[in-house]
Chain A
Amino acid sequence: MNRDSNAYTFIFATVMVIVVAASLAIAATSLKPMQNENVRKEKMQNILSTIGVEVEREQAGEEFNKYIKEQISLTADGSIDESVNAFNIDLAKELKKPVEEQRFPLYKAEIEGKQYFIIPLRGAGLWDAIWGYISLEDDINTIKGAVFDHKGETPGLGAEITQSWFEKRFEEEKIFDPESGEFVGVTVMKGYSGGNNKDDNAIDAISGATITGDGVTDMIYNRLQYYMPYLKQQNVKVALNN
C-alpha cells in the first residue's frame, strides 16, 4: 500500500491511537491502587503535620492510628452522623451539595494528654482548588497548625501557600474576635502591620498572591463556621473567656 495515500494515513493514525489508548488505560488501571495508597498516606501525613507530628510516608498509617483518637462526620447543625466514614469524605464532591446534605469530617487527636481538633479545608484559589488542614487547640480558639496545598496556583506567588514559612504564620493565631467574642476566622491581610500579634485574627499575606490569600481567608471562614455548633458543645469556655 502506498505510504503516502490518504487511506493509509487514516488507517495508520486510527490503529496507532487505539493501541496507545489501550496500553495507557491498562497501565493507569493497574497502577491505580498503589497511587491511591500514596494519596491516602499523604493525607494522613498532612493531618498529622498540623499538630506538629512529622512522619515518613511508610509509617503514616501506624502513627495516624496512634495520635488520631476519633474520626467523626458532622452535619451542619453539629450532630454526629455515624453512617459516614469521615476519612473517606471527599470535600471536592461534598462542597457541591447543599449545606444540609454535606457531612463535615473532624479528626480528634491527642498528644501528651492534650486534645486537638483537626478540620479539613477546601476552597478556591486564583486558578483552581486550594485545600488544607487546620488544627485547633482544646480552647477551640487557638490554631495549633495549618497545612495548605493547591492544584494550580502560580509558582512563586500563590503556590507559596504550601511553604512552611507561610503555614507557620497561622500558629497560635485566634479564630475568635477577642473583643466581641464572635467567630471571625483568620484574615490573610495585604500590608499587614501587626508584627507578631497573635490576637488580631490576621496574618501577613504573600506579595503578588492577593487572590490566593483571599481564597485562604474565605476557605478558613467558610469551612470552620459549620464546625462551630459542634465545637461549642465540646467546650463552653470558648473565646468569650479570653
Chain B
Amino acid sequence: MANKKDNKEKSPLVLFVAEEKEPLFSKKNRKLLSDPLDDNNPITVQVLGICSALAITVQLKPAIVMAIAVLAVMAFANMIISMIRNLIPNRIRIIVQLVVVAALVILVDQVLKAFAYDVSKELSVFVGLIITNCIVMGRLEAFALGNGVWKSFLDGVGNAAGYGLILVIVAFFRELLGSGKLFGFEVLGHKGATLAESSGLYALGYENNGLMLLSPAALLVVGVLIWIQRARNRKLIEKN
C-alpha cells in the first residue's frame, strides 16, 4: 500500500550532492511535508494506524496530545535512524528501529506524566502503543533508512501531521455529535435533566448520539473522510 516513489534513491553520492545544492524548503522537500496530508495520507490512503485512531478520538484534547506525541516520536525517530543509517548492521535494523522508537515513546510517556498528568492517564496504554504504530516503523523502514537527515525529519513531521490531522477531524465530530462538546465546552447548549432545564439545541429536543462515543464510530467517520477525499481527489480512486 505504501507509496514507493519517494525513496530508494540508491546512490549516496548523488543524494549528497543534490542535498548540498537544495534549499531547505525546496519544492521536493515541501512535498515531503504536504504529500502525507492528502495524496499519501497514512490513515485515509495507506490505512495505517487505524487502531489508535479508534481508541483516542472520543474527545479532542487527548487526540491532539496523541497527535503531538506521535509527531515528536516520528520526527526524532526518523532523524536518529537517518543519522545512523550507514552504521546500522543490516541484519538487526528492525530491532534497532524498535529500540529507537521504544526509547522515544518511553521519553514521551515520562514527560507527559510529569507535565500533563491527566492527559497521560487518559491516553494510558495508547502512548505506549505508539511503538506498534505501523506508520512509525513504516516510515523508518521505507524512508529514513535511505534518505538524509533533513528529508527524514520532514517526512516524519509530514506523516505524523497527516495522521494527526485525521485524528483531530475524527475527534471533532465524535466529541461534537457524541457529547455535544468541544474541548469539554458545551457548544450545543446545556443538557439538563428535563427539557425545561436544558438550553441551546437540547431545549429543542436534540439528543446526543451515543454511537459516536463507541469505537466503531471512528471507522464510520474515517470512512466518510475517505469518501470525501476520493470524490475530491480523483487520482486516488483505484481502477479495477
Taking Cβ atoms with an 8 Å cutoff, the residues of A that contact B are: 3-4, 8-9, 12-13, 16-17, 20, 23-24, 27-28, 31, 34-35, 38, 42, 57
Considering the complex, give the chain A residue whose CB is closest to the CB of B95.
A13
Q: Is B110 an interface residue (CB 8 A)?
A: yes
Alpha-carbon distance between A23 and B88 when the two chains are bound, in angstroms: 19
Q: Is B187 an interface residue (CB 8 A)?
A: no
Contact assessment for B103 and A57 in the assembled complex, using a CB-CB cutoff below 8 Å: no
B87 at interface, CB cutoff 8 A: yes
Give the distance in Å from the alpha carbon of A34 to the alpha carbon of B111 in the complex: 9
Are A31 and B111 interface neighbours, CB within 8 A? Answer: yes
Cα–Cα, bound, A30→B117 (Å):
16
Complex CA distance for A38 and B96, rounded to whole angstroms? 33
A20 partner residues in chain B, CB cutoff 8 A: 99-100, 103
Chain B nearest CB, measured from A26 CB (Å): 10
Contacting pair A12 B110 (CB below 8 A): no
Question: B99 touching A24 by the CB < 8 A rule?
Answer: no
25 residue pairs A–B, Cβ–Cβ below 8 Å? A3-B89, A3-B90, A4-B89, A9-B91, A9-B92, A12-B87, A12-B89, A12-B92, A13-B92, A17-B99, A20-B103, A23-B103, A24-B106, A27-B110, A28-B110, A31-B110, A34-B114, A35-B110, A35-B114, A38-B113, A38-B114, A38-B117, A42-B117, A57-B117, A57-B118
B96-130 with Cβ < 8 A to chain A = 96, 99-100, 103, 106-107, 110-111, 113-115, 117-118
Summarize B's interface: helix, strand, loop or mixed.
Answer: helix
A234: min CB distance to chain B, Å = 35
Residue among A20, A23, A57 with max Cβ neighbours from chain B (10 Å): A20
A12 to B117, CA, bound (A): 36
Interface readout for B77-92 with A: 1 if CB under 8 Å, 0 if not?
0000000000111111
Give every chain B residue within 8 A of A28 (Cβ-Cβ): 110
Report the bound CA distance from A9 to B117 in whole Å: 39
Residues A4 and B90 in contact, CB atoms below 8 Å apart: yes
Q: In the assembled complex, which residues on chain A have CB atoms less than 8 Å from the CB atom of B95? A: 13
12 more CB-based (< 8 A) A-B contacts, given A3-B89, A12-B88, A35-B110 = A3-B90, A4-B89, A12-B89, A13-B95, A20-B100, A23-B103, A24-B103, A24-B107, A28-B110, A31-B110, A35-B113, A42-B117
Q: How far is the CB of A24 from chain B (nearest CB, A)?
A: 6
Q: Once the chains are docked, how many angstroms separate the CA of A95 from the CA of B90?
A: 50
A25 to chain B, nearest CB (A): 11
CB B118 to nearest CB in A, in angstroms, measures 7
Q: Is the CB of A34 within 8 A of B115?
A: yes
Q: Which has the most chain B C-beta neighbours within 10 Å: A12, A13, A16? A: A16
Q: Are A4 and B107 in contact, CB atoms less than 8 angstroms apart?
A: no
**A16 to B111, alpha carbons, bound, how many Å?**
22
Contact of B99 among A9, A16, A35 (CB under 8 A): A16
Q: Contact between B89 and A9 (Cβ–Cβ < 8 Å)?
A: yes
Which residue in chain B gives the minimum CB-CB distance to A152? B125
Nearest CB in chain A: distance from B71 CB, A: 19
Interface 1/0 per residue, B50-93 and A, CB below 8 Å: 00000000000000000000000000000000000001111110
Distance of A42 Cα from B118 Cα, bound (Å): 9
Which of A17, A23, A35 has the most CB atoms of chain B within a 10 A radius of its CB?
A35
A115 vs chain B, min Cβ distance (A): 31
Q: Given A3-B89, A24-B106, decide whether A16 and B96 contact each other with a Cβ distance below 8 A.
A: yes
Q: From residue A148, how far is it (CB to closest CB) to chain B in Å?
A: 14
| A contact residues around B103 at 8 Å (CB) | 20, 23-24
Q: Determine if A31 and B114 form an interchain contact, defined as CB atoms under 8 angstroms apart.
A: yes
Q: How far is the CA of A42 from the CA of B121 in the complex (A)?
A: 11
Question: Given the complex of chains A and B, what is the CA–CA distance between A2 and B172 in angstroms?
Answer: 52
CA distance A20 to B100 in the complex (A): 8
Cα–Cα distance between A16 and B89 once the two chains are bound (Å): 12
Q: B111 to chain A: which residues have CB within 8 Å? A: 27, 31
